[in-house]
Amino acid sequence: MAQGGDPVSGRDAVRARRAYKAAMSPASALVLFSAGQDSTTCLAWALSRYDRVETVGFAYGQRHAVELDQRPRLLEALRRHDPKWAEKLGADEVIDIASFGALAESALTADRAIEMQANGLPSTFVPGRNLVFLTYAAALAYRRGLGALVGGMCETDFSGYPDCRRDTLDAMERALQLGLETTLTVDTPLMKLTKAQTWALAHELGGDALVDLIVEHSHTCYEGDRTHRHDWGYGCGVCPACDLRAKGWAAWRAA
């Protein structure tokens, strides 16, 4: 029973929420992990910085299940890579949001050609995808008391997806802090990096062994091709995602 006639939704509730806010651990993070090069590098970044790290992925009706198949392999490889990382790395959750995929149908989730649309965005753009991912991730982080969301969004990405811009993510971070009354942050360590610099960051975090692990197990190719092996990893070698990954690799090796 609330004291002094306060309704439960009044002062007591505010005090309770403030106490919960303090319980969100600033030393812990939830990484949006898709098993691609970028999110794997983000995961390594989080493991080198936070005491406790969990991962979340989304099944939204992608054309290929390759990414979902690669995630346990990558997580296992990261645990083997560094015993300290193995201690920090906690639960992995895959959330089914197929209904969103159906709603936001695009080349990634339906059998359509990957091409440039009249609005200047490639047909691979899934409207609002990162906003949906972050909302689900925030709900999970809130439950688990994790203080940060970490995502591989990047402004220098060729495609210029508007929901990858830091401006969008600043607004989203603010919306989540207000709407959930938390101190939750949205960390985007790759925001200003080129693909070559992302390879360099992986090398900085874990040397050749981490780079090898990302080459071998991470998946980027839009076509879901894991039969062609290149210096930079598996992929068809011609789709925009392969092209970007290959060019970044070449630029990093040449540096």
Please give the residue ranges that form the binding site for Zn ion (CB under 5 A).
221, 223, 235-236, 239, 242
Q: What is the distance between the alpha carbons of residues 252 and 246, in angstroms, rounded to a whole number?
A: 10
Nearer to Zn ion, 139 or 238 (CB): 238
Smallest distance from Zn ion to CB 120, Å: 22
3-state helix, strand and coil shares in percent for the chain, rounded to the nearest 5: 50, 15, 35
Minimum gap (Å) between residue 241 Cβ and Zn ion = 6
253: burial class by Cβ within 10 Å (0-12, 13-18, 19+)? exposed
- Min dist. Cβ of residue 214 to Zn ion (A): 16
Tokens of residue 226, six digits: 């894991």
Amino acid present at 214 = I
β partners of residue 233: 230
Given the complex with Zn ion, which of 53 and 215 has the nearer CB atom?
215
Question: Which C-beta is closer to Zn ion: that of 151 or that of 235?
Answer: 235
CB of 237 to Zn ion, least distance (A): 6
* Dist. CA 215–CA 201, nearest whole Å: 14
Find out whether 49 and 26 touch, Cβ atoms under 8 Å: no
In the complex with Zn ion, the residue whose CB is nearer, 89 or 215, is 215
Whichever of 128 and 237 has its CB closer to Zn ion, that residue is 237
Number of H helices, E strands in the chain: 9, 7
Query: In the complex, what is the shortest distance from the CB of residue 109 to Zn ion, in angstroms, rounded to a whole number?
Result: 17
